Structure 1
């Protein structure tokens, strides 16, 4: 009788130990992978939020891969050129301001050296290129080419042509005068006022 009792106790003990191992081990194994997964998600999600791309820019002309690219607010023209594969050998790099900030929905045309050289004729081109940018990198709206004007946020081909057409008979005496150009009002002016000069 005593022997049977000991056997029963031993069996119960083994059963309890095995049950404990059975229940505890899956809980442990299940817990660790879940913890790692959640950690990965928690570390990756903020990064994704920080990298959220909320502006679209069309860059074309003398770049290797023209197209529409997405950027974060505050990125600059140099980032757009890099995204488009960099300049082509024919690009007129000095005709664009790589430090300026990008704006949503804008089109940026990088001119070729030939285009930059022929925009106002051989005799006027050198003087125009020199005068188009001030020492601090601002674009002179009295002398800038279409391509140079189009590097400004909110200025596409039609607005650039309107600026050139306006100044052919009216000199810009102050940067505020650009608001006299058709299509350029306070909204566009506020975007470009820190990047232009006369």
Structure 2
């Protein structure tokens, strides 16, 4: 009787060993694919207006969409030039500049006012006289219908250059506005426009 193993048994053992190795390799590959799929990938971070940069970082990028540039000065943490989205308000510009300082007077600016491209926004300190702004703009940011020029009126929503001139023509012909509702007498201005302007203007 021979002590040599049966060739058939050897072949079966080899096949089982190779099969086990393939199973291990395939399982490892599957795990690697799964881990790669659930691992977060790094990407570009979109810097928006409320993520203010330090002065050394330059402009704050508003991302996609129309951009307005505002120079924020006075009692803010990081004065500088900021790029914000069209339609942003004074509160957004102040947030971009790092917020108000402890000495700031929040009542010195109209936080709800819509920003204009190229404007300079100065936040005063408590007890400080607000810096002069556009013609006909009160300290709280509202537009004075009886003092504003055409350029200032043109910054209001729903008011373009032609409508701004009509407002000036009306007050020159009829005297000063006594209330915001007097705007209804100006040709082309309806009740919806008056309601949109009511919190932004004063007679």
TM-score range, shorter chain: 0.5 to 0.7
Q: For residues 109 and 186 of structure 1, do their structure 2 counterparts lie closer, same or farther at Cα, with a shift above 3 Å needed?
A: farther
* RMSD of Structure 2 on Structure 1 (CA): 4.1
Distance, in Å, in 1 between the alignment partners of 2:118 and 2:173 is 27
Pairing partner for 2:88 from 40, 52, 75: 75
Question: Offset of 1:19 from its aligned partner?
Answer: 1.5
> TM (normalized to structure 1)?
0.54
Q: Are 1:14 and 2:17 an aligned pair? A: yes
Output aligned runs, 1:80-159, within 5 Å. 100-101=113-114, 129=135, 132-159=136-163
Distance, in Å, in 2 between the alignment partners of 1:17 and 1:11 is 10
* 8 Å contact from structure 1 (residues 75, 101) kept in 2: yes
Q: For residues 160 and 195 of structure 1, do their structure 2 counterparts lie closer, same or farther at Cα, with a shift above 3 Å needed?
A: same
Quote the residue 1:174 is aligned against.
179
* 8 Å contact from structure 1 (residues 179, 186) kept in 2: yes
Q: For residues 154 and 98 of structure 1, do their structure 2 counterparts lie closer, same or farther at Cα, with a shift above 3 Å needed?
A: farther
Distance, in Å, in 2 between the alignment partners of 1:181 and 1:110 is 29
* 8 Å contact from structure 2 (residues 113, 141) kept in 1: no
Task: Structure 2: give runs of 5+ residues left out of the alignment.
Answer: 49-61, 70-82, 94-109, 120-131
Q: Are 1:24 and 2:27 an aligned pair? A: yes
Q: Are 1:163 and 2:176 an aligned pair? A: no
> TM (normalized to structure 2)?
0.53
Q: Which protein is richer in helix relative to its size?
A: 1
Where 1:8 maps in the other structure, the secondary structure is helix
Quote the residue 2:125 is aligned against.
none
Task: Structure 1: give runs of 5+ residues left out of the alignment.
Answer: 61-68, 81-96, 103-107, 112-125
Greater relative contact order (Cα < 8 A, sep 6+): 1
Q: For residues 161 and 78 of structure 1, do their structure 2 counterparts lie closer, same or farther at Cα, with a shift above 3 Å needed?
A: farther
Greater mean deviation of Cα atoms: 21-30 or 141-150? 21-30
